[in-house]
Amino acid sequence: MAPTTTKMASLTSQLRFSTPATAVTETCTIGCPKEVMPCEYRVSLTPATVAELVSNGHTVVVQMGAGVASGFTDESYTASGATVVPTAKEVYTTCQTIVKVQAPQPQEYSFIQQGQVIFAFFSFENNKTLFETMMQREAVCFSYEHMKTENGMTPVLQAMCEISGQLAISQAMKYLEKPMGGSGCMLGTVTGMTSGYVLILGGGVAAMQAARVASSVGAHVCVMDVCMSNLRTMAETFPKNCTTLYFCTENLVQEIQKADVVIGAVFGSFQMPSTVTNSSVMSEMTTVNQMNRAPILVTKEQVAMMKPGSVIVDLAASRGGNFETTQPTTLEMPTFMYNNVIHYCVPNMPSAVPQTSSVSLANNTLVYIQQVANNGWKKACVENSTLMQGLMVAQNMTTNYTLSQIYTGTMFVPTVQLLKNEITMMTTQPQNQTETTLAEIKQQLNQIQNMNSTYGNFTVEA
């Protein structure tokens, strides 16, 4: 583990209090509306996770048809103890906590209640209207992609990255086919011939899954990263047809011209190595940390160097993409052509396999939903630093400094200030010691926030 990550873990661990996370101090009504974003087939709660919540004394309300695309019938939810209602409005107006996959869509805005807790992939950085609406409605928003554990992992995002990485190779193989507009190259091994070549940018979970699948079909795989320890691990554990290379402009230009497939798998900011000299890339990097977008690693000029009929799969499309040529696409129209290179840039790739991705999502979010339902969101945040970091909006304020800088004029309040009363009640020291404790926690949170803004490499997505 990197020294910065170790330090972050030690700091966040000190924010935990002795109250057990499993203790149920209150009951909650939890809602699961049907996803209305086009091409979103996942569901946020499965019958199995509903049963767990109900067994803890909570009430679960599910919108009719919410799980059908994922293979879950309304009857299966009823059998698990949920109440099934016909409309999203009924879910929102009767529930204290809403659990979604994608952020609420415009047609849902009017249903949101003051003080309502909402779990979702919000991506506030890219949606001013959504951010302003959640502020105005005074919702309490937990963003899956910002929920980070003590060791720097993002468990919910990581679960989806695991699926996206595997899908990247299957989609690339399909679009390499001639009828799909590709070059007609096959990635796998054929006797007497060289294999197809897959270049993967990044060394996180998505990249590793893509490398694993690509190497298993016999392709020659090259993984580029700036984190040498990750490259070393991959070199030691992956088969011989998977090689590693340090990311720099010279290496990128050299490899991209040989690649049949290039996969972008870097979701967050990172320290651009000094060996990257392209001026447009460096200019882009000056705003990456402020906007929390994915870094542009490949310029349009470098895309133009690729072989005709080759394929780009940008797994970071939901955060702006790793390619200068990236434009978000949909599962209905997943590709476009730029300079004779096929681009697959679907932001919600796991939605293509909802039976798998819905279960994975529900399994990885249940512990956080339970903790909020059991103890209330404020106490849950104090007990769990992962939830604390995932809190983006509360009480018409943002607890995320980056968002307050992106959307100037937004009221920003540090999380420790928002949760001061809960922290005070949960400490057993005398009043004068409590004030010291609050000051220490505030200092720790500031250090964590500073590290979050500066810590980075190609593995931040997982």
> At how many degrees (to 10) do helices 354-375 and 155-175 cross?
170
Contacts of 237 (CB under 8 A, 6+ apart): none
In this prediction, residue 422 has a pLDDT band, given cuts at 50, 70 and 90, of: confident
Distant-in-sequence contacts of 75-80, Cβ < 8 A, 24+ apart? 76/47, 77/47, 77/50, 79/47, 80/47, 80/48, 80/50, 80/51, 80/54
3-class secondary-structure state, position 72? coil
Q: How large a percentage of the chain has pLDDT more than 70?
A: 81
* Residue-wise pLDDT tens digits, 133-173: 999 999 999 999 999 988 888 999 999 999 999 999 999 99
Residue 443: predicted pLDDT: 53
In this prediction, residue 426 has a pLDDT band, given cuts at 50, 70 and 90, of: low
Q: From CA 199, how far away is CA 362, in angstroms rounded?
A: 32
Q: What predicted TM-score, i.e. pTM, was given to this entire model?
A: 0.84
Task: List the one residue out of 335, 288, 285 whose CA is nearest residue 311.
Answer: 335
Distances (CA, A) of 159 to 145, 152, 170: 11, 14, 18
What is the residue-averaged pLDDT of the chain? Answer: 86
Residue 278: predicted pLDDT: 47
Residue 23: predicted pLDDT: 56
Q: From CA 24, how far away is CA 1, in angstroms rounded?
A: 34
3-class secondary-structure state, position 26? coil
Q: How large a percentage of the chain has pLDDT more than 90?
A: 72
Where would I find the beta strands (DSSP E) of 2-116?
29-32, 59-63, 83-85, 97-102
Would you say residue 354 has pLDDT above 90? yes
CB 180 within 8 A of CB 187: no
Residue 20: predicted pLDDT: 38
In this prediction, residue 289 has a pLDDT band, given cuts at 50, 70 and 90, of: very low
Would you say residue 460 has pLDDT above 70? no
Lowest mean pLDDT across 27-36, 89-98, 142-151, 416-425: 416-425
Q: From CA 45, how far away is CA 98, in angstroms rounded?
A: 10
- Pick the residue with more confidence: 329 or 286? 329
Task: Over range 373-389, report the average pLDDT.
Answer: 93
Q: Which residue has the tokens 């107006």?
A: 93
Would you say residue 21 has pLDDT above 80? no
Residue 55: predicted pLDDT: 96
* Residue-wise pLDDT tens digits, 300-319: 999 999 999 999 999 999 98
Contacts of 154 (CB under 8 A, 6+ apart): 145, 146, 147, 148, 460, 461, 462
Task: Over range 253-268, report the average pLDDT.
Answer: 95
Q: Could you give all domains of the chain from N- to C-terminal order, each with its CATH number?
A: 12-153+354-446 (3.40.50.720), 160-352 (3.40.50.720)
Would you say residue 279 has pLDDT above 80? no
Count of residues in the chain: 462
